[in-house]
Amino acid sequence: MSPAAARKIEARHRPMVEVRHLSKIYAGGVEALNAISVDFPEGQLTSLLGPSGCGKTTLLKIIAGLIPATSGEVMVDGRPVTGPGPERAFVFQDFALMPWANVLRNVAFGLELKGVAQSEREAVAEKHIASVGLGGFEHAFPHELSGGMRQRVGLARALAVNAKVLLMDEPFSAVDEQTRRKFQEDLLELIAREHKTFLFVTHSIEEAVYVSDRIVILSKRPSQVSAIVEPEIGRGRDPDQIRRDSAYLDTVETIWQSLKRYLD
Amino acid sequence: MTLIAETKAYAHRGSAWGDILRHPATLWLISAVIVAGAWEIAGRWPISPAFPPFSDTMSALAGLIADGTLGKALIITLKPLAIGLIASVVMGVGLGVLMGLNRFAEWLGSPIFVIAQSAPLAALIPILTFAYGIGLTAKILTVCIMAMPVIVLNSLNAVRHTPATLLDMGHSFLATRRQIIFKIILPAASPVIFAGLRLGCAAGFIGVILAELLITPTGIGDIITYNQSVAEYEKMYAAIFAIMALSVLLISLLEMIETALFHPEKRAQS
Ligand SMILES: Nc1ncnc2c1ncn2[C@@H]1O[C@H](COP(=O)(O)OP(=O)(O)OP(=O)(O)O)[C@@H](O)[C@H]1O
Ligand SMILES: [Mg+2]
């Protein structure tokens, strides 16, 4: 990316999440992140792509305030992160639903913890359950739902607290390919509608190129930013057309070439 | 709604007879009939003169109930049992959960219960009588020693094995420590805690009978010892049967409480 292009982006989107010289060494001595610095622009979806075990989950959890960094700092909306905060919500890879609670209670759980009155939080939850396409399942329990439906519950729960930043750790990796494509379409719609900042971890290059405004490619552990790609594919077209588009295919190929060298 | 509608429709497809046959109470009844039948046959065989048939045992039981012997004995036996079980349940769950939440408490407490669970407890009874005499205290303690370790250790493990991602979820939504414990850890731990309670209560029944046989013969233990010594085996087995039936009753009650509080049937295998 040229400096001029970089300035253009900075001007259009101020960074919502700023990661500065972040390092993480786990108790066992594993060095997961090595002085990594990266920005996540407001209102955009930024993907983290990198070899397995390179520290993507670690980075996301530090940004979420779930684990402490060894050194360096994270700023969200201009304020340093010292723990979880109301402006961030996490979508978990394994959904993290409470099996003893129905969909309604699961989705409303963030608000329940905040002490929002039951009728009020259930009204908010119902709205988000409908918005992720689960209307009618409010009283179903997680074990009665498919993997794809469970992840929609996880997404609705994150949306219900109305956080500015959504942290998603491989949210679609546990669902089948058809559901995954549907999810990607829905996610694009969501980004257009909600004006939130999305941090999205994925293993799939195609998925990253398809849904991202920006892709941060990480190197092998200990991780550093190896490249930043901004897929210039026109949105709002027929999905199948996009997937055949040469710009889309070229971007996928470029990223594949840069990731390939990390395979052993 | 489609998914739920489908499961319901499926459940209704089976015939009424099928529903009755699959009902838990039916299975229960069938297995009770088989056991009673086997007991009857074995008693009539006879395996041993000291092993009366089921029917004789039941008529002896009716006799014991009618002349008030069983009622009086149960009141005596139930006293140390009830006190011991209530103490074991309250303290056992409390201590187990505390040890699950706090590493220091675990370090301090868990060795005692691990040893208590694996020690031959009958061997401790003489020490108990030496220290606390042959009264109620020693019997209550016997019940506690039998019942508490499994309750404590199950509660401890249940709390310790709360899924890490549910804890992360709670933290990320800014739950307080209190909310994490009451809204995530305890509901997640409840099935294993209740399994421990069922095992603990069953062990408590063993404990009280052991105490009544080994410390001083009172209550049910007295009926057992006395009738054994005068070779009225039907009455001895009737007393044993009565205490076992009571134990099963209590465990079923625990299951009902669990169902009412935590809906284990709703979480299934997810
Ligand atoms: N709690 C932990 N304790 C010690 N080491 C850990 C811990 N969590 C992760 N690691 C190590 O840190 C490194 C980075 O892990 P992380 O889960 O962040 O990778 P990832 O990029 O998310 O991998 P994947 O793509 O497979 O999900 C790995 O080598 C992992 O073994
Ligand atoms: Mg990961």
- Decide if B1 touches A, using CB distance below 8 A: yes
Which residues of chain A have a CB within 8 Å of the CB of B265?
Answer: none
Helix (H, G, I), strand (E, B) or coil at A73: strand
What's the token pair of residue B164? 């890490």
pLDDT reading at B222 higher than 80: yes
- Residues A163-178 have pLDDT tens digits of 999 999 988 887 778 8
B142 vs B149: CA distance, rounded Å = 12
pLDDT reading at B232 higher than 50: yes
Least CB-CB distance to B166: which of A66, A89, A96? A96
The answer to whether the CB atoms of B183 and A112 lie below 8 A apart is: yes
Domain presence at residue B173: yes
Mean per-residue pLDDT, A23-39: 90
Mean per-residue pLDDT, A148-174: 90
Higher confidence at residue A3 or residue A97? A97
Cα A100 to chain centroid, rounded: 26
Mean per-residue pLDDT, B21-37: 85
Domain presence at residue B15: yes
Cα distances (angstroms) measured from residue A47 to each of A44, A94, A208: 10, 19, 6
Domain presence at residue B27: yes
At residue B9 the predicted structure's pLDDT band, cuts being 50, 70 and 90, is: very low
Give chain A's mean pLDDT: 86
Phi/psi at B89 (5° precision): -65, -50
pLDDT reading at B270 higher than 50: no
Least CB-CB distance to A99: which of B171, B172, B267? B267
At residue A264 the predicted structure's pLDDT band, cuts being 50, 70 and 90, is: low
Mean per-residue pLDDT, A47-56: 87
* B136 and B69 belong to one structural domain: yes
Nearest CA to ligand 1 atom 16: A55
* B17 and B59 belong to one structural domain: no
* B35 and B114 belong to one structural domain: no
CB proximity list for A192: less than 8 A, separation 6 or greater: A235
C-alpha torsion sign, points B78, B146, B251, B261: positive
Q: How many other C-beta atoms can be found within 10 angstroms of the C-beta atom of residue A254? A: 16
d(CA A177, ligand 1 centre) in Å: 25
Mean per-residue pLDDT, B138-145: 92
Name the residue in chain B with its Cα closest to that of A143. B270
Q: Helices B136-160 and B125-132 sit at what angle, rounded to 10 degrees?
A: 120
pLDDT reading at B21 higher than 80: no
Report the pLDDT value the prediction gives residue A210, as an integer from 0 to 100: 84
First vs last C-alpha separation in chain A:
27
Report the pLDDT value the prediction gives residue A3, as an integer from 0 to 100: 52
The answer to whether the CB atoms of A143 and B165 lie below 8 A apart is: no
Nearest CA to ligand 1 atom 30: A53
Residue B46: asked if its preceding bond is cis (omega within 30°), the reply is: yes
Which residues of chain A have a CB within 8 Å of the CB of B187?
Answer: 98, 100-101
Domain presence at residue B166: yes
Check residue A24 and give left, alpha or beta (phi > 0: left; psi -120 to 50: alpha). Answer: beta
* B129 and B26 belong to one structural domain: no
Name the residue in chain A with its Cα closest to that of B263. A100
Number of domains in chain B: 2
Report the pLDDT value the prediction gives residue B268, as an integer from 0 to 100: 58
* B58 and B39 belong to one structural domain: no
What percent of chain A shows pLDDT beyond 90? Answer: 47
Mean per-residue pLDDT, A123-150: 91
Domain presence at residue B199: yes
First vs last C-alpha separation in chain B:
20
**Angle at the Cα of A180 (from A179 to A186), degrees rounded to 5?**
90
Nearest CA to ligand 1 atom 31: A53
Report the pLDDT value the prediction gives residue B8, as an integer from 0 to 100: 44
Report the pLDDT value the prediction gives residue A12, as an integer from 0 to 100: 62
Report the pLDDT value the prediction gives residue A92, as an integer from 0 to 100: 92
* B122 and B178 belong to one structural domain: yes
* B27 and B110 belong to one structural domain: no
Mean per-residue pLDDT, A72-86: 91
* B88 and B24 belong to one structural domain: no
pLDDT reading at B213 higher than 80: yes
The answer to whether the CB atoms of A100 and B188 lie below 8 A apart is: yes
A28 CA: nearest ligand 1 atom: 4
pLDDT reading at B122 higher than 90: no
Mean per-residue pLDDT, B142-169: 93
* B28 and B71 belong to one structural domain: no
**Angle at the Cα of A116 (from A110 to A121), degrees rounded to 5?**
70
pLDDT reading at B148 higher than 80: yes
**Amino acid sitting at position A122:** E
Tell me the shortest Cα–Cα distance from B28 to chain A, in angstroms. Answer: 27
- Residues A131-140 have pLDDT tens digits of 888 989 999 9
C-alpha torsion sign, points B94, B100, B102, B104: positive
- Relative to the alpha carbon of A219, which ligand is closest? 1
Domain presence at residue B250: yes
* B76 and B33 belong to one structural domain: no
At residue A240 the predicted structure's pLDDT band, cuts being 50, 70 and 90, is: confident
Which residues of chain B have a CB within 8 Å of the CB of A99?
Answer: 266-268, 270
Which residues of chain A have a CB within 8 Å of the CB of B267?
Answer: 99-100, 141-143
Q: Residues near ligand 1 with C-beta < 6 Å?
A: A 26, 28, 30, 32, 52-58, 221
* B13 and B128 belong to one structural domain: no
Report the pLDDT value the prediction gives residue B17, as an integer from 0 to 100: 76
8 A C-beta contact, residue B61 and residue B203: no
Higher confidence at residue A227 or residue A6? A227
What's the token pair of residue A100? 């003893």
Tell me the shortest Cα–Cα distance from A150 to chain B, in angstroms. Answer: 11
Please state which of the ranges A95-99, A235-239, B97-101, B178-182 shows the lowest mean pLDDT.
A235-239
Mean per-residue pLDDT, B78-96: 95
Report the pLDDT value the prediction gives residue A211, as an integer from 0 to 100: 85
8 A C-beta contact, residue B154 and residue B96: yes
A52 CA: nearest ligand 1 atom: 25
At residue B5 the predicted structure's pLDDT band, cuts being 50, 70 and 90, is: very low
Least CB-CB distance to A89: which of B172, B262, B266? B172
Name the residue in chain A with its Cα closest to that of B182. A113
A185 vs B145: CA distance, rounded Å = 61
Show the domain range for B160. 54-269
Name the residue in chain B with its Cα closest to that of A160. B173
Report the pLDDT value the prediction gives residue A223, as an integer from 0 to 100: 74
Domain presence at residue B49: no
Report the pLDDT value the prediction gives residue A220, as an integer from 0 to 100: 82
Report the pLDDT value the prediction gives residue B3, as an integer from 0 to 100: 42
Domain presence at residue B195: yes
Choose which residue among A22, A57, A60, A70 to substitute to test ligand 1 binding: the one with the highest number of ligand atoms within 8 A of its C-beta: A57
Which residues of chain A have a CB within 8 Å of the CB of B7?
Answer: 144
pLDDT reading at A7 higher than 50: no
Least CB-CB distance to A143: which of B168, B187, B268? B268
Give chain B's mean pLDDT: 87
pLDDT reading at B2 higher than 70: no
* B63 and B34 belong to one structural domain: no
A155 vs A107: CA distance, rounded Å = 8
Residue A222: asked if its preceding bond is cis (omega within 30°), the reply is: yes
- Relative to the alpha carbon of A53, which ligand is closest? 1
What's the token pair of residue B99? 């040890």
- Decide if B16 touches A, using CB distance below 8 A: no
The answer to whether the CB atoms of A92 and B169 lie below 8 A apart is: yes
- Decide if B183 touches A, using CB distance below 8 A: yes
CATH number, domain of B205, equals 1.10.3720.10
